[in-house]
């Protein structure tokens, strides 16, 4: 079987102008186009048969129709793993001389795409091409499970995908630091920022720890003189009798929730009696890690105020989910219709969740003397939950301009005291437009990673890189031939760069270590040998970089950075190159190269 090669292009190269994956797999598919399509489909079916996890997470078809080629087969599998992230397959623009089986794969999730393409080849080999030599399928299944989990964390998170898309539009390079925590870097060196959804590298870990514990948050806000509900906490494993006694100190109606969960998980609002309390306790204990919180019930509208870098970025009033009878549909059918509407909203805003049919929903139906099979009369509105969390079917409306200045100031106090660059603050009151002195309210929670709906990423970027702040450090790429007769002149040129910038780091592939040592620059500058250029770009101590590489590096991996400020080709004597090389140098070289 022809050898398979997957090669990373770090930046612009002779065959592509940005980060991508070069696929070279000259596997011949016999027959005409119809036979090739049949081969493609049969190979896919074999992979799905042997690795059914792929079909369990199939997403919608991803736009571009793939050519029935070996590379197309690879991308078909990679798309299944990375859905909804798009993987595009293109032929390099080399004209009629393009080698057979040479393709370019591009994906916004660049690092995950490389892992998916590599694994796709092994899945195809194990299922279709040479199953007798494929080794342990259990090992491949384990790798597939792990990669699908990381892909779901990163690729199915709408804020992350929007942030990466906007970064690309703005020309901001990005790289994946840790898929399991959805951690990305935007930019490079000391100018770079780290993001995880709306959380950033400016958030205090101590502040995050406090915000994750509802009891600690309540205590801190109370110590700041801010209005909060009365609250008690107990171990999640406490006896029901102890829970009933503690609730008597707070009084009914009350709220019961886990101390350390968000998105409304395990929360029951408006508990009226002991029977309702014990039902709520079952739900809360399933979600709680350590503690339960019993809280005074505050009447009012639920508003989420999102703070970025100390200022109010947006505010939304959240409305509990409800259904309204039409005299024809059952309760179950009305909930299904409401959820279909929310699916449409989620496609637009990325955050709207479905209404769950759980203990709380059934309790509200019981209060309305209804069950799932009943048909409510026309015009009857049934509230299905006490809380208004969007993740459990609540709806929201924009109220940013209506927030009273005093409530804004209190939110600024909370975000700055917790040292959180991003904070979602939940506030209950009857009228957000009125001052707290006239319309009292209470702060009930702080979320250190607040949700953001579609269209908010421009605001997030404005806070990440305010006032035109640079996102990347200066980078120079010098392509040199390390030949003995050119080392003296090359050293002199490098010394000019070092003299002009005392913070400059000379970065180079590890295999060039001996060649760099021959230049005798160690005493005059910082050196950074690397296996992958991201090692240098991630280093927050770096303030400017000169990548020193040779033509072999360019031919194999392109330039080490996607958009260098300057590119030079250093050669003292005339050099003859191919037409492709000359075109590449003309496209990338800085005008003042010598």
pLDDT tens for each residue of 417-429: 999 999 999 999 9
- Give the mean pLDDT of the chain: 88
Between 392 and 140, name the one with better pLDDT: 140
The CA–CA distances, whole Å, from 569 to 185, 356, 482, 531, 548 equal 29, 62, 12, 22, 10
Residue listed under structure tokens 């780091």: 505
Cα separation, 550 vs 545, in Å, equals 16
Spatial CA neighbour of 199 closest among 191, 211, 187, 188: 211
pTM of the model: 0.85
What tokens appear for 45 in the block? 């079916």
CB-CB contact of 43 with 120 (8 Å) = no
SS3 content of the chain, % helix, strand, coil (to 5): 40, 20, 40
The CA–CA distances, whole Å, from 537 to 20, 160, 175 equal 17, 21, 9
Is pLDDT at 579 greater than 80 in this prediction? no
Averaged pLDDT for residues 258-280: 84
Between 533 and 520, name the one with better pLDDT: 533
Cα separation, 267 vs 297, in Å, equals 12
- For residue 6, what are the β-bridge partners? 23
Between 499 and 94, name the one with better pLDDT: 499
Q: What are the CB-based long-range contacts (under 8 Å, 24+) for 237-246?
A: 237/285, 238/292, 240/278, 240/281, 243/277, 243/278, 243/281, 243/292, 243/294, 244/274, 244/277, 244/278, 246/294
Q: Which of the four pLDDT bands, split at 50, 70 and 90, describes residue 394? A: confident
The CA–CA distances, whole Å, from 273 to 49, 180, 276, 279, 281 equal 53, 42, 5, 10, 12
What tokens appear for 154 in the block? 């990163």
Alpha-carbon Rg for the chain, nearest whole angstrom, is 29
CB-CB contact of 441 with 313 (8 Å) = no
Q: Considering the chain, what percentage of its residues have pLDDT values greater than 90?
A: 51
* Per-residue pLDDT at 217: 94
Task: Tell me the per-residue pLDDT of 185-224, one tens digit each, with 9 for 90 and over.
Answer: 999 999 999 999 889 999 999 999 999 889 899 999 999 9
Is pLDDT at 93 greater than 90 in this prediction? no
Contacts (Cβ under 8 Å, ≥6 apart) of 240: 278, 281
* Per-residue pLDDT at 590: 66
Contacts (Cβ under 8 Å, ≥6 apart) of 309: 202, 421, 463, 466
Residue 358's CB is within 10 A of a number of other CB atoms, namely 12
Which range, 94-108, 115-129, 355-369, has the best average confidence (pLDDT)?
Answer: 115-129
Q: Which of the four pLDDT bands, split at 50, 70 and 90, describes residue 594? A: very low
Least confident range of 138-152, 240-254, 263-277, 346-360: 346-360
* Per-residue pLDDT at 576: 62
* Per-residue pLDDT at 63: 44
* Per-residue pLDDT at 137: 80
Between 530 and 523, name the one with better pLDDT: 530
The CA–CA distances, whole Å, from 159 to 172, 394, 490, 560 equal 16, 19, 46, 28
Buried residues in 379-407 as b, exposed as e (16+ CB within 10 A): eeebbbbbbbbbbbbbbbeebeeebbeeb
Cα separation, 494 vs 525, in Å, equals 10
Q: What is the side-by-side order of every strand in the sheet holding 291-296?
A: 231-235, 291-296, 254-258, 268-271
- For residue 478, what are the β-bridge partners? 548, 568
* Per-residue pLDDT at 457: 85
- The answer, yes or no, to whether the previous bond of 275 is cis (omega within 30 of 0) is no
Is pLDDT at 304 greater than 80 in this prediction? yes
Cα separation, 166 vs 193, in Å, equals 15
Q: Which of the four pLDDT bands, split at 50, 70 and 90, describes residue 435? A: very high
Task: Tell me the per-residue pLDDT of 540-561, one tens digit each, with 9 for 90 and over.
Answer: 999 999 999 999 999 899 999 9
Residue listed under structure tokens 């006490």: 386
The residues spanned by each domain of the chain are 5-156, 321-385, 475-588
Spatial CA neighbour of 415 closest among 159, 257, 217, 184: 217
Task: Tell me the per-residue pLDDT of 321-378, one tens digit each, with 9 for 90 and over.
Answer: 899 999 999 999 999 999 998 888 777 666 778 888 888 888 889 888 888 999 989 9
- For residue 258, what are the β-bridge partners? 292
* Per-residue pLDDT at 33: 78
Q: Which of the four pLDDT bands, split at 50, 70 and 90, describes residue 31? A: confident
Cα separation, 275 vs 377, in Å, equals 29
């Amino acid at each position: 079987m022809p050898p398979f090669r997957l090669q990373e292009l770090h930046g612009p190269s002779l065959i592509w102008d940005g980060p991508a994956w070069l696929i070279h797999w000259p596997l011949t598919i016999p027959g005409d186009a119809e036979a090739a399509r049949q081969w493609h489909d049969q190979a896919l079916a074999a992979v799905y048969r042997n690795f059914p996890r792929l079909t369990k997470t199939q997403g919608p078809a991803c736009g571009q129709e793939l050519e029935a080629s070996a590379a197309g087969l690879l991308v078909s599998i990679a798309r299944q793993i990375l859905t909804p992230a798009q993987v595009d397959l293109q032929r390099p623009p080399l004209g009629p001389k393009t080698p057979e089986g040479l393709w370019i794969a591009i994906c916004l999730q660049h690092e995950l795409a490389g892992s998916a393409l590599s694994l796709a080849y092994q899945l195809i080999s194990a299922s279709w091409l040479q199953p007798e030599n494929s080794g342990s399928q259990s090992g491949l299944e384990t790798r597939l499970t792990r990669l699908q989990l990381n892909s779901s964390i990163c690729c199915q998170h709408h804020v992350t995908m929007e942030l990466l898309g906007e970064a690309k539009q703005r020309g901001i390079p990005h790289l994946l630091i840790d898929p399991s925590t959805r951690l990305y870097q935007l930019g490079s060196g000391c100018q770079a920022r780290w993001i995880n959804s709306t959380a950033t590298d400016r958030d205090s870990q101590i502040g995050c720890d406090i915000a994750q514990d509802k009891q600690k948050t309540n205590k801190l806000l109370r110590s700041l003189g801010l209005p909060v509900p009365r609250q008690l906490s107990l171990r999640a494993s406490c006896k029901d009798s102890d829970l009933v006694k503690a609730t008597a100190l707070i009084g009914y109606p009350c709220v019961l929730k886990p101390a350390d969960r968000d998105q409304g998980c395990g929360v029951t609002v408006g508990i009226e009696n002991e029977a309702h309390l014990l039902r709520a306790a079952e739900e809360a204990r399933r979600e709680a890690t350590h503690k339960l919180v019993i809280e005074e019930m505050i009447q009012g509208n639920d508003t989420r105020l999102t703070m970025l870098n100390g200022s109010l970025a947006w505010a939304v009033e959240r409305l509990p989910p409800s259904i309204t009878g039409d005299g024809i549909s059952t309760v179950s059918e009305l909930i299904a219709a409401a959820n279909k509407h929310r699916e449409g909203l989620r496609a637009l805003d990325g955050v709207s969740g479905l209404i769950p049919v759980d203990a709380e929903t059934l309790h509200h139906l019981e209060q309305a003397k209804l069950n799932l099979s009943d048909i409510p009369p026309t015009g009857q509105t049934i509230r299905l939950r006490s809380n208004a969390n969007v993740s459990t079917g609540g709806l929201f409306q924009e109220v940013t301009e209506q927030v009273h200045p005093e409530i804004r100031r209190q939110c600024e106090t909370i975000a700055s005291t917790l040292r959180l660059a991003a904070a979602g603050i939940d506030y209950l009151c009857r009228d957000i437009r009125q001052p707290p002195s006239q319309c009292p309210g209470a702060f009930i929670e702080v979320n250190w990673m607040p949700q953001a709906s579609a269209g908010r990423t421009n605001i997030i970027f404005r806070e990440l890189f305010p006032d035109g702040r640079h996102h990347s450090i200066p980078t120079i790429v010098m392509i040199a031939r390390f030949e003995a007769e050119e080392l003296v002149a090359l050293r002199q040129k490098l010394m000019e760069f070092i003299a002009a910038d005392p913070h400059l780091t000379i970065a180079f592939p590890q295999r060039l270590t001996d060649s760099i040592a021959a230049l005798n620059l160690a005493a005059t500058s910082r050196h950074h040998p690397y296996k992958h250029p991201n090692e240098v770009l991630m280093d927050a101590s770096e303030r400017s970089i000169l990548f020193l590489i040779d033509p072999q590096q360019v031919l194999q991996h392109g330039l080490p950075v996607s958009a260098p400020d300057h590119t030079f080709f250093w050669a003292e004597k005339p050099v003859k190159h191919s037409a492709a090389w000359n075109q590449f140098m003309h496209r990338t070289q800085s005008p003042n190269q010598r």
